[in-house]
A and B are shown apart, each in its own frame.
Chain A
Amino acid sequence: DVKVTQSSRYLVKRTGEKVFLECVQDMDHENMFWYRQDPGLGLRLIYFSYDVKMKEKGDIPEGYSVSREKKERFSLILESASTNQTSMYLCASSFWGEGEQYFGPGTRLTVT
């Protein structure tokens, strides 16, 4: 079974803090993705990576950065958290050229 794990299920941070969300997959997938999910807006792609040290912007990259130093690990960084970044964050992974993405359990981030 494909396993995608995320570092925290629930996280509460203060405005202005630097926040790290980490994702690890164990299936040797080339592609990794970060989404946020909000009511009425669905899943929106923040960033994705198709190889180590490679990254591409998704639909809503503003206020976020990412890091992929190892194939199995993809980190999402909020440089200075703001209240409008309160959301559910989902990580996913897939093989190159395949549409099937496998998701982690999500991190519910609250910024106060």
Chain B
Amino acid sequence: QKEVEQDPGPLSVPEGAIVSLNCTYSNSAFQYFMWYRQYSRKGPELLMYTYSSGNKEDGRFTAQVDKSSKYISLFIRDSQPSDSATYLCAMSAQETSGSRLTFGEGTQLTVNP
């Protein structure tokens, strides 16, 4: 069983829709949670970074962490065609040497004009 599970999609939505992307994990030691966005033929770029449980908002993006359920989400409001990309969740444990991350498989999102 993978440590981090993420629905690979693909997910296709109309412009303006609310998008929900999700990951579940099994390692209760994970404390730091991230979302990366990866455009086609590019490297991933950090989108959101949260520590422990709770919500974090940045513009149209909200990251949510529920440690009791071992579940994290990324919500995109008023989605735009420029949001079309692959979204990867990533997480790490506090004690991990070198800040090693464990990634989900990535969800491919297309926002249609």
Point out residues on A near B: beta carbons under 8 Å.
Answer: 4, 31, 33, 40-43, 45, 48-50, 56, 58, 90, 92, 94-106, 108
Point out residues on B near A: beta carbons under 8 Å.
Answer: 6, 8, 32, 34, 36, 41-46, 49, 88, 90, 92, 97-101, 103-106
Given A42-B88, A45-B100, A99-B49, A104 contacting B43 (CB threshold 8 A): yes
**Contact partner, B103, options A42, A50, A105, A108, Cβ 8 Å:** A42
Cα-based distance from A102 to B98 in the complex (angstroms): 14
Contacts of B43 in A (CB 8 A): 4, 90, 92, 103-106
A-B contact count (CB 8 A): 62
**Contact partner, B98, options A41, A50, A103, Cβ 8 Å:** A50
> Smallest Cβ distance from B56 to chain A, in angstroms?
14
Cα-based distance from A6 to B36 in the complex (angstroms): 19
